[in-house]
Amino acid sequence: MGMDVDAVFARTALENIQDIVGKLPHGEREIICDEIIEFQDMICKKYGFPSAFKDKERTLEDINDDIDKVRKDINRLKNE
């Protein structure tokens, strides 16, 4: 049985990205994480696979808007 070299390299690349994201401080990984999510979504759409996210109708912009709302609520609560 032959080795699927492309699949091995792809898995290694994904593991490398996973390690990078895991090592970045919380405030510094937002941009790279957004790009990873967008790339995953593009690949899934291109090849007809379901996205890793259940709520497929929401865009990354919608999710970021929700995150901003939560941050504002947290800041408001801290100041009360």
**Residues 24 and 32: beta-carbon distance below 8 Å:** yes
Nearest to 39 by CA among 23, 21, 60: 60
Question: What phi and psi values does residue 22 have, to the nearest 5 degrees?
Answer: -65, -25
Domain boundaries, the chain: 5-79
pLDDT digits (tens, 9 = 90+) for 27-52: 888 889 889 988 988 998 899 888 77
**pTM for this prediction:** 0.58
- Half-sphere exposure of 16 toward its Cβ, with a 13 Å CA cutoff? 6
Residue type, 48: G
Q: What angle do CA 29, 34, 36 make, to 5 degrees?
A: 95
pLDDT digits (tens, 9 = 90+) for 5-21: 988 999 999 999 999 99
